């Protein structure tokens, strides 16, 4: 029995109701777009000139969660349009990277789970085939990014913690095709990540470079966090939720232990007010926050608390509720005339711009409320 569950349920239901009310207005204005952020309260649109951007599945994911909660067919229609727009990617391998999971799990695979339609299944399997093709068999890791035009960085050996969230596409493909190859790759990558990304204190590295012929860590990078050796908070969130999901799909208890270890570090570092910095190790005079990290970590902790094998369900559930309450009370824009929902999100510590709205922050905040109220359409 999780403490205070009833009280939290009532609170979360009220919050979700307010969110769905606001999102009805946002949807009316943004239904033809694939938004990433807002400019002066208005969603931008990545569907025309930036269809390869890694976040382009989250608007569809929001639509499926809203559809699941309200059964309003308008959301389903917009979700399917988002899915169809992503088809352009299958004609350009340069636009495909390890983020196939983020793009097609909340769109095609969600659609397939709801409607069992063959076209969405086809899209999901194609995306999984491409993701599996990024596996380095000597190093046992999935290559993260491609070489970006213009810079001379060799990324062939790079894997990143975020990829743990893309592995469920491979687990789903094995379950759907009854072919274990996809799952074998996911497990090999997850084991490499468990050994090489997670530090003894439970924090995780963002980027690890592996030897592309022999395997083994060559070097690691601070990536989107403050510096090498620091604790980029969204990366911690990807680790918590990602390892919890590998446990869900494989039943390997070591993944659950790893998720709990990363979550313990996150809980220990969470400030009293529950608002999360961009990096737990950022200098004390830097106040930049990343609300996306709070929302993602909360989803991961709620997921952990649902497992029978979890050793301290209350701890993870209560920590997640603290994070989501802090966001609800302080970091939600309730103005129905503006498109942004979750505020003070940060893409990367060393970017020029900090603390703006980002679509995956909105997505995971909504998913967390759906999880707390048992109204979630399972995406991962």
Residues acting as catalytic residues = 99, 162
Q: Per CB under 6 A, does 234 bind ligand GLY?
A: yes
Residue whose tokens read 């299944």 = 121
User: Residue count at the site for ligand GLY (CB under 6 A)?
Assistant: 5
Closest CA to 141 of 63, 65, 214: 214
At 342 the three-state DSSP class reads strand
Residue whose tokens read 């400019």 = 39
Q: Determine how many CB atoms are found less than 10 A away from the CB of residue 4.
A: 12
Rounded Cα distance, 174 and 311, in Å: 29
Least distance from ligand GLY to the Cβ atom of residue 77, Å: 28
Residues facing residue 39 across a β-bridge: 42
The answer to whether the beta carbons of residues 189 and 181 sit under 8 Å apart is no
Phi/psi of residue 220, nearest 5 degrees:
-130, 160
Least distance from ligand GLY to the Cβ atom of residue 380, Å: 14
Count CA atoms within 13 Å of residue 225 on its CB side: 27
Q: Which is nearer to ligand GLY, 106 or 174 (CB)?
A: 106
Q: Per CB under 6 A, does 290 bind ligand GLY?
A: no
Q: Per CB under 6 A, does 347 bind ligand GLY?
A: yes
Q: Which residue is nearest to ligand GLY (CB)?
A: 162
Binding mask 52-81 for ligand GLY (x = CB under 6 A): --x---------------------------
Q: Which is nearer to ligand GLY, 182 or 349 (CB)?
A: 349
The answer to whether the beta carbons of residues 237 and 300 sit under 8 Å apart is yes
Least distance from ligand GLY to the Cβ atom of residue 97, Å: 10
Q: Which is nearer to ligand GLY, 241 or 316 (CB)?
A: 241
Q: Which is nearer to ligand GLY, 202 or 239 (CB)?
A: 239
Q: Per CB under 6 A, does 162 bind ligand GLY?
A: yes
Q: Per CB under 6 A, does 224 bind ligand GLY?
A: yes
Q: Per CB under 6 A, does 354 bind ligand GLY?
A: no
Both tokens of 66, joined, read 């809203």
Least distance from ligand GLY to the Cβ atom of residue 316, Å: 21
The answer to whether the beta carbons of residues 221 and 209 sit under 8 Å apart is yes
Rounded Cα distance, 222 and 206, in Å: 6
Least distance from ligand GLY to the Cβ atom of residue 347, Å: 6
**Binding residues vs ligand GLY (CB under 6 A):** 54, 162, 224, 234, 347
């Amino acid at each position: 029995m999780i403490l205070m569950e009833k009280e939290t349920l009532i609170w979360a239901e009220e919050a979700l109701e307010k969110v769905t009310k606001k999102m009805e207005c946002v949807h009316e204005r943004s239904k033809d777009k694939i938004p990433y952020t807002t400019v002066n309260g208005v969603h931008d649109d990545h569907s025309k000139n930036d269809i390869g951007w890694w976040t382009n599945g989250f608007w569809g994911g929001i639509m499926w969660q809203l559809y699941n909660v309200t059964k309003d067919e308008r959301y389903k229609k917009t979700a399917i349009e988002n899915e169809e727009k992503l088809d352009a990617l299958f004609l350009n391998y340069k636009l495909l990277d390890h983020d196939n999971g983020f793009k097609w799990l909340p769109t095609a695979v969600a659609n397939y789970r709801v409607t069992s339609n063959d076209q969405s299944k086809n899209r999901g399997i194609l995306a999984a085939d491409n993701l599996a093709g990024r596996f380095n068999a000597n190093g046992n890791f999935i290559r993260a990014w491609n070489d970006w035009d213009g810079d001379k960085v060799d990324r062939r050996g790079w894997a990143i913690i975020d990829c743990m969230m893309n592995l469920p596409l491979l687990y789903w493909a094995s379950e759907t095709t009854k072919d274990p190859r996809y799952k074998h790759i996911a497990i090999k990558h997850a084991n490499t990540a468990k050994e090489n990304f997670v530090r003894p204190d439970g924090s995780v590295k963002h980027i690890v470079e592996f030897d592309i012929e022999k395997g083994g860590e060559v070097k690691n990078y601070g990536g989107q966090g403050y510096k090498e050796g620091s604790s980029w908070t969204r990366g911690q969130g990807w680790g918590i939720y990602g390892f919890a999901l590998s446990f869900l799909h494989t039943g390997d208890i070591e993944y659950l232990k790893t998720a709990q270890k990363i979550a313990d570090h996150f809980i220990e570092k969470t400030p009293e007010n529950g608002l999360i910095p961009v990096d737990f190790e950022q200098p004390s005079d830097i106040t930049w926050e990343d609300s996306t990290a709070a929302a993602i970590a909360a989803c991961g902790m709620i997921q952990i608390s649902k497992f029978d094998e979890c050793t301290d369900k209350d701890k993870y559930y209560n920590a997640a509720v603290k994070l989501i309450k802090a966001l609800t009370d302080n970091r939600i824009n309730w103005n129905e005339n503006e498109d942004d929902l979750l505020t003070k999100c940060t893409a990367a510590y060393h970017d020029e711009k900090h603390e703006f709205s980002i679509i995956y922050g909105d997505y995971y905040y909504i998913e967390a409320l759906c999880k707390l109220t048992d109204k979630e359409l399972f995406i991962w």
